[in-house]
Amino acid sequence: MLYVDTVVAERLVHRPRFIVAMVVVVSLALLTFNLNDTVFAEILRPIIGAPDQAGWFGRLSIAFILSILFMLNIVVIGFLQFKLQLLIVWSELLLLFLFFFYGFELDFDFIRTKFWFLVTQGVFTTLYVSMVSIVLASIVALFGAVAKLSSNGFAYAIASFYTSLFRGVPLLMQVYLIYLGLPQLGYVIDAVPAGILALVLCYGAYMTEIFRGGIQSVSKGQWEASRALGFKFGLTMRRIILPQAIPLIIPSTGNQFIAMLKDSSLVSVIGVWELMFLARTAGSKDFRHMEMLITAALIYWALSIILELIQSRIERHYRTQSH
Amino acid sequence: MKIKNCLLLGLATMSLATSAALAGEDLDRVMEEGVLRVATEADWVPQSFLDDNNEMAGFNVDVAREIARRLGVEVAFVTPAWEVITAGNWNNRWDISVGSMTPTEQRAKVLNFPAVYCFTPAVAVVHADSTVQEIAELNDQRIGAVAASTFELYLQHDLTIDAKGALPFDYQINPGEIRSYPTSSAVYDDLRLGDGVRLDALIDAMPAILAAIENSYPLRIVGDPVFYEPLAIAIDRGDQEFNDELARIVADMRADGTLTTISEQWYGIDYSAAK
């Protein structure tokens, strides 16, 4: 929360004028769609008649009823506690989302037959590739950040060249360059190590900048004080600077982890059987691409949610520690 | 010719050494390891795909299995992207491609084609709702094809097939716009959205089209095949012994009817010889 004050004001969503205005706007928006033939019209069927007879009267009634329901929902939610609001809005949006997929007429039996394979082969490889890459990228980033903050011109030049190059080239191209290019130098690299290397170098470059920002945000006085106490560089870094920098680094690093999980799908182009690769191929025999793509999308989302939860746990840990 | 760089004494001193693959090297390696590593697609019914048990299956897969059986080795499949296979310079990551590859002049610069194992008709396809009846009507339309495929080269009027027994053909289509896709299923999915929604037509191999139509894709073949493409197995350049051994095996498979059997099993049609 940004800032909680004690000023009592009427909620916007409870002002009559706002409610009426919103009902009108939502009605007009819904009016542009012809919903006479949809599931929304079924409750009103006795009044508006068959889909082909309902016409503008049908459209208007449906739009009006739906917008009233919509605003009623918002007004009611406005009265509730924060946690309850969170729960209800999440469930409603999730239902809407699933309803959207339901409209595709998916073959759920097919999904069931392939789901376990997607998890054991695809999720396993995706997690394996991204977890190894995340750990290695963090190490690269730490060294990169220290080098970028160093007064040593050689270290700074290497680190800044590295971040500039690997942030400036598309990750997909890095995957290709490493997989196809390294063998030209005499070192034949397998698909999985090539993918991991590309992810590590690319994300290491982004995270170098994040780490650098975090370290730089610790005030100069901390350095001076630890130097005055006789601390050497390594000890200062470990015991003084990093403990203060890490809480600032965590939110953006969590972002990178989630992005990495999904960018690991790029290694599918070199034939690694991870989740994205299987999503594209598992449905090809029966021409059921939508089923596999949606399943894989939901799996990616579920994995990201887990990472989000872990991230918020860690953030909470540091917040309670610093207060 | 392979170029090998050796890393010597740190980063600064790098010496370049050039060496050709020794004759028989690839064949020896395959026999020694007892595994023939085959590069093919996993996304192309009925040529090569994942079956219900999530194993590789299809026409190309069966041809590859038979070649390995006759070599007396096990078979293993890898599935790199198509352009990685056609780029050549495999560096022993895999030994052979059995992936419906047409032996074009450009590809022959980086790969060897020991033998043609199949001839497939390439056809122009429209959405079932389309009014197009003749190939000439496809001029100035938006036509889709797999990137770096012979179908795309045909649309670009840049296709040369220099295999033995290839039939001559004319460029019958002047597309308004060529749209390239990573896989053939992506082309089909865009055309099935509706006539002219994203594509007006596509060009692809007839067997794949027939399989899609069987799976209720709303597609229709227009006119006669625009060209017949010979499809060859491919290996990295350099090993003539491996090349000759594979040529002999495929010739045997054609002579004793094995290729015909596999083709009829997957397509219901014998594609093993040119019409």
**CB-based burial, B97-136: b 16+ in 10 Å, e otherwise:** bbbbbbbbeebbeebbbbbbbbbbbbbbbbbeebebeebe
Given a cut of 90, whether residue A50 has pLDDT beyond it is no
Radius of gyration of chain A (CA): 27
Architecture of domain B2-118+231-267: 3-Layer(aba) Sandwich (3.40)
The domains of chain B are located at 2-118+231-267, 120-229
Token pair for A128? 């394996």
Contact between chains at A179 and B84 (C-beta distance less than 8 A)? yes
Given a cut of 60, whether residue B12 has pLDDT beyond it is no
| Domain match, A173 and A113 both | yes
Query: What local confidence, expressed as pLDDT, does residue A32 receive?
Result: 87
Does a structural domain hold residue A291? yes
Q: Is the pTM of this model over 0.90?
A: no
Contact between chains at B54 and A117 (C-beta distance less than 8 A)? yes
Does a structural domain hold residue A262? yes
Using a CB–CB cutoff of 8 Å, tell me whether B197 touches chain A.
no
d(CA B56, CA B48): 7
| Domain match, A259 and A151 both | yes
User: Is the fold of B2-118+231-267 the same as that of B120-229?
Assistant: yes
Q: Are B199 and B144 in contact (CB under 8 A)?
A: yes
Does a structural domain hold residue A101? no
Does a structural domain hold residue A30? yes
| Domain match, A196 and A294 both | yes
| Domain match, A254 and A164 both | yes
| Predicted confidence (pLDDT) per residue in B103-133, tens digit | 888 888 899 999 999 988 899 999 999 999 9
**What residues in A contact B208, CB-CB < 8 Å?**
none
Query: What local confidence, expressed as pLDDT, does residue A98 receive?
Result: 85
pLDDT-derived band at B21 (thresholds 50, 70, 90) equals very low
Token pair for A85? 């609001």
Using a CB–CB cutoff of 8 Å, tell me whether A112 touches chain B.
no
Query: Which residue range is the domain that position A318 belongs to?
Result: 108-322
| Domain match, A81 and A112 both | no
Using a CB–CB cutoff of 8 Å, tell me whether A184 touches chain B.
yes
Does a structural domain hold residue A4? no
**What residues in B contact A287, CB-CB < 8 Å?**
45, 185, 188, 212, 215-217
- Bridge partners (DSSP) listed for residue B36: B75
**C-alpha distances out from residue A274 to A123, A201, A265, B80, B120, Å:** 7, 20, 7, 12, 32
Domain boundary among A56, A91, A126: A91
Does a structural domain hold residue A97? no
Average confidence (pLDDT) over A181-204: 90
Q: Which of B91, B191, B214, B217 has the highest number of chain A CBs within 10 A, making it the mutation to test binding with A? A: B91
Q: How many independent structural domains does chain A possess? A: 2
| Domain match, A220 and A132 both | yes
| Domain match, A75 and A128 both | no
| Predicted confidence (pLDDT) per residue in A98-133, tens digit | 888 887 778 888 888 889 999 999 999 999 999 999
| Domain match, A304 and A267 both | yes
- Give A190 to chain B, closest Cα distance, Å: 8
- ipTM value for the complex: 0.71
Q: Closest partner residue to B91 among A121, A188, A286, by Cβ?
A: A188
- Give A233 to chain B, closest Cα distance, Å: 29
Q: Return the residue of B nearest to A116 by Cα.
A: B54
Q: The CATH number of the domain where A119 resides is what?
A: 1.10.3720.10
**What residues in B contact A269, CB-CB < 8 Å?**
81, 84
Using a CB–CB cutoff of 8 Å, tell me whether A182 touches chain B.
no
| Domain match, A19 and A65 both | yes
Helix axes A16-31, A51-79, angle to 10 degrees: 150
Domain boundary among A60, A91, A122: A91
Question: φ, ψ for residue B80 (rounded to 5)?
Answer: -70, 165
| Domain match, A167 and A298 both | yes
Tell me the CATH class for B120-229: alpha beta
- Bridge partners (DSSP) listed for residue B220: B126
Question: φ, ψ for residue A202 (rounded to 5)?
Answer: -70, -50
